[in-house]
Amino acid sequence: MIFIIKVTTNKEDRALELISDKVHKKELSVYSLARPHGLRGYIFLEAEDRESAEEAAYNLPYVKGIIGKTVTYEEIKNMLEPVMEEINIEKGDIVEIIGEPFKKEKAKVIRIDKTKGEAVVTLLAAVVPIPVTVKLDNVKVIRREKEEGEEEDDEAKTGYHQKQTSNSENEKPETNKQDNGEEQPLLSQDYEEPVGGLIPEDY
């Protein structure tokens, strides 16, 4: 039989620990305890009968009581069995944390452990970048930064930067070959020949 235990909101984990300790100490006929992710204010307790469930939850901090109706496993299966989805989070991504205690905070992913379903991030708003470990289902990607070297690759593909450098280094002034074989620089088109000779008239 699966019972629903009403507990103090945000104290679900602590209440579960206290019930678990009592079950082990008194060797009660309780088979399992579960606190589904995202379910606040309740935990599930599977026991042989109601007496065992009530004794396990009786007179404990954060435990408010047992809801009268029992549930079947099929009714809560979707909360207990996670749906496997492809995780599309990469190192360097900018994410928003959607779970407590850093809800709505922006962070940068510095390491991912998909086997544990966790990511190590640094909060963008923090003065000192302290690594924080969060569950992958508690973050969503809001921006994906370019990988290092991608801009350089684009530049190499176009050859634009190389062409500009080559022109600047190899550029030579235009010349005009004279009759004696010597090359003289061409005068600018804006150049105007001065009026008169080079020697002043009153010399």
Asked whether residue 87 is assigned to any structural domain, the reply reads no
Cα–Cα distance, 62 to 57 (Å, whole number): 10
The CATH number that applies at residue 43 is 3.30.70.940
Domain count, the chain: 3
Asked whether residue 61 is assigned to any structural domain, the reply reads yes
pTM beyond 0.85: the answer is no
Pair 57, 65: CB distance under 8 Å: yes
For residues 68 and 101, state if they share a domain. Answer: no
Nearest residue to 162 via CA among 146, 154, 148 = 154
Six-digit token string for 190: 């804006």
pLDDT tens-digit map of 87-103: 677 788 888 888 777 88
pLDDT tens-digit map of 41-96: 999 999 999 999 999 999 999 999 999 889 998 888 878 776 555 567 778 888 88
Pair 120, 111: CB distance under 8 Å: yes
CB atoms within 10 A of CB 123: 17
Six-digit token string for 106: 């922006």
